[in-house]
Chains A and B, each alone.
Chain A
Amino acid sequence: MPTGSRGVRDQVQASYAEYARKGGDGTGNLEERATSWGYGRALFEEAGLRDEATLATIMAAACGGGCPFAAPFPARAQTFVPGQRVVDLGCGAGHDCLLAARLVGAKGLVVGVDLTPEMVAAAAAACAEDAARARSGTANSSTGSNHGDKVALGGLEVAPSEFHVAALDDGTLFSSCGPLAHLAGTFDVALSNGVLNLCDDKPAAFAAVFRALKPGGVFLLCDVCVAPRGCGEGDGAEEENEKEEAKAADEGAEAVTATVPQQWPPGKKAEGSNAKPLLASLSSSSSVSSSPPLPPSVSSGSAADTKSTGGGGDGGGAASSAELGDAWSN
């Protein structure tokens, strides 16, 4: 592990613990965040999330760098189908776990892993609460929180979930001697949302994701990039993909098709969250209790990308021009 990892990890852990303890400041623009990350009404409906209070709670708890569910992407229709096993590496307060648990249903499994115990506790609580809500078959209505109105969840089944405190980049997470060795190679889908930029030992982190997945498993990564020339749609992603494909072809790599089931839940859309309608209004007065609305800043001075991202994959903060130049040059 590179020198200084402990320092970076301590900073990340301390910052996120503080946010978990604060429970968010309640002033974040939840709708704007949901929109900017790619979460939208279509995804929430696909996941059976129809009540505004729950949505507000989820997005208030969100720390990340985007929406790993956002379609389109290859194999989207074969991803998050009932019965699949999903691991969220760097789950934070669990908003993606909660969505995944609803999408894969009772026969699936969702495992969340995070460095910060306080975040893991928040994630476990959020998923337990949602599972209880699903079991009871009701939720607060969309007319607002705590009004006593109930709406049926339509027999929604939520996947069991479990959570672990562990560092993604310590090199042992899913190895034979690691804490999650028993889960290595068992996941259909791995998510990582705004976390890898915080890892000091990135090769170890990517290797952990690889070990977690079963052959044919899909890794969905959202993160913050250093992007001095912009990093949005139409910003060169296609060219990058073409270069990568050409490189892979040169090296003899083969395109592989995932072997996950081909079906999509009846009545559900294969493309989820890039649809226009987003949270109509995520009022800050909705119950926002357990988790931070925004990732905290992580101070600079270490080798990890924390110095350029501001932590949490949210992309706050700025890298120096020298860093940007180095990072961007291909």
Chain B
Amino acid sequence: MTTTTSNRSATLTMPSDNELVITRDFNAPRALLFDALTRPEHVKRWYGLRSLTLRVCEIDFRVGGAWRYVLHDPEHDAEHAFSGEYREIVRPEKIVSTERYEAIPDSDYVVTTTLDERDGKTTLTSHLVYQKKEHRDGHIMSGMEHGMNETYDRLDELLAQLL
């Protein structure tokens, strides 16, 4: 399966101080994508990262229902918990939910995910609206920090071997 064409890579824009928009095309009908995004048995199969495994995936998929994901970072034996509630569900085209990084209280942001299908392919658009610019920027920086730590750890290892 090819994933190299340019229209398949995620784009990220910041239309205002406290917004972030992530767009990505998928080679699947939107009903299938909708299920892959909202059913825990599916989410568990893809949501982790090379450096983070999804340890907890709870989804009470109804308006007012809660969700909670816990990502585990084995390298630092640290856990990162994210949770929120579903505000609006329009199967298979739209999900509005709140989301927060539990380590930062009152940092809730609202995520509106829409799925547009065309010729069997689906465009996913996630629109994130934060309370404050600082929260958005913090979210962007969080991933980098993790990556930076990994880089420094590798550098440490390398130096240990060389010295």
Specify whether A and B are partners: no
- Interface of B with A (CB < 8 Å)? none
